[in-house]
Amino acid sequence: MNVGLIGYGAIGSLLYDLIGQYAPGVRVRAVYDRHEYRGDNKAVGADTWIVDRVDDFLAADLDLVVECAGHEALRDLGPSVLKTGCDLLVASVGALADPLLESLLGDAAKNGRACLRIPSGALGGLDALGAAKFAGLREVRYESHKAPGAWRGTPAEDRVALDDVMRSTVVFEGTAREAARLFPKNANVTAAVALAGIGFDQTRVVLHADPLATGNTHRIKAEGDFGQIDVSVTGKTLPSNPKTSMLAPYSLVRAIANLNQTLVVG
């Protein structure tokens, strides 16, 4: 199976290595990376092309494309990938909080007979949440606890004096759509929860700056006719990007590896 990567930053370059370790039979055929973002430390194998032209990337005979370059890249390239009939695995799930982009990607996938794939990312419990939607799901709440430093460069700085936070403090409370729009680098997981469950406008989100946080904690609480779900994951962050949970790229490689497996769980 030939895979193409959109983006070769912290997530893309790590994913390239993980595919080699955990996805036998999968070859990274092409990497789309804008010239100004390339670096000498981002070496790839001789059989992998690094291109900065979309046409060259799409002509690489790919079975799957993985987006790991951010919301703008997904908006610019996602519809074109799906229209060619190539499945698209999305890291920047929060971009789908834009209803226009969600519609464009959905239409492109339908027209190209392709699949838009959403990984579980740093979360646990999305499989149970998706099953609960069929069994009767009424309420979904997502909560996040991250160290104050993880919220720098976000609207949280305008709401809370991060340097003065002494205890867990709410920096945002609202819908998943609002959270994904305001915190695109911190709250991609809220979009995954919304898509698996009851939607962007019905899913409630609470984000905390927590000086006692030792990693990124993600908690899903849901209830309905099926019963209750309460799932919490505390994960370490990527050393190269403290806003990203370490499980995020591992979730991507799991999704890729599953495509070639005869036994798939979850």
Could you list the active site residues? 218
Question: What type of residue sits at position 259?
Answer: L
The string of DSSP letters for 72-107 reads HHHHHHHHHHHHTT-EEEES-GGGGGSHHHHHHHHH
Show the tokens assigned to 248: 């995020």
Q: Phi/psi of residue 102, each to 5°?
A: -60, -40
Sheet architecture: strand order including 116-117: 49-51, 27-32, 2-6, 64-67, 87-90, 116-117
- CA distances to 5, 110, 257 from 85, rounded to whole Å, are 16, 9, 20
Length of the chain: 266
Residue corresponding to tokens 């092409």: 30
Q: Dmax over Cα atoms in the chain, in whole Å?
A: 55
Instruction: Copy the structure tokens of residue 24.
Output: 């036998």
Which is it for the CA torsion 99, 81, 180, 120, positive or negative? positive
Contact partners, residue 106, CB within 8 Å, separation at least 6? 116
